[in-house]
Amino acid sequence: MQRLILAAFFCKGEGCRVCSHTGWLEVLGCGVVDSNVFKAVGYKDVSGYAFGLGVERFAMLLHQIPDLRSLFEGDLRLLEQFK
Ligand SMILES: [Zn+2]
């Protein structure tokens, strides 16, 4: 698996709860798809590469939101700050 990681914004790479004390934050995970996934959906002799952009992580960095989970709680007070 490959991934794009950035130095953690909150702790400047020192390590904190946001980056799981690694000093890095993954924002673009990617890798080769396991061939069993294709077999499970009926495809044979194919391969693939998948990736996903963690847009919520960019929002977290841009707006200095300390807990990623707060973006998914549906709290309008948080969301209304970004009008
Ligand atoms: Zn950190």
Give the model's confidence band at 67: pLDDT under 50 very low, under 70 low, under 90 confident, else very high: confident
- Number of neighbours of residue 43 by Cβ within 10 angstroms: 12
CA dihedral 83, 67, 23, 11 (to 10 degrees): 70
**Cβ(27)–Cβ(5) below 8 Å:** yes
> Ligand 1 mean position to 65 CA, how many Å?
12
> Ligand 1 mean position to 12 CA, how many Å?
7
d(CA 70, CA 78): 8
> Ligand 1 mean position to 83 CA, how many Å?
27
The pLDDT tens digits of the residues spanning 37-64 come to 999 999 999 999 998 888 888 888 788 8
Per-residue pLDDT, averaged over 17-45, amounts to 88
Which domain range does residue 39 map to? Answer: 2-82
Beta bridge partners of 28: 4, 53
> Ligand 1 mean position to 50 CA, how many Å?
26
12, two tokens: 């400047």
Whole-model pTM: value is: 0.55
Q: Indicate the number of domains in the chain.
A: 1
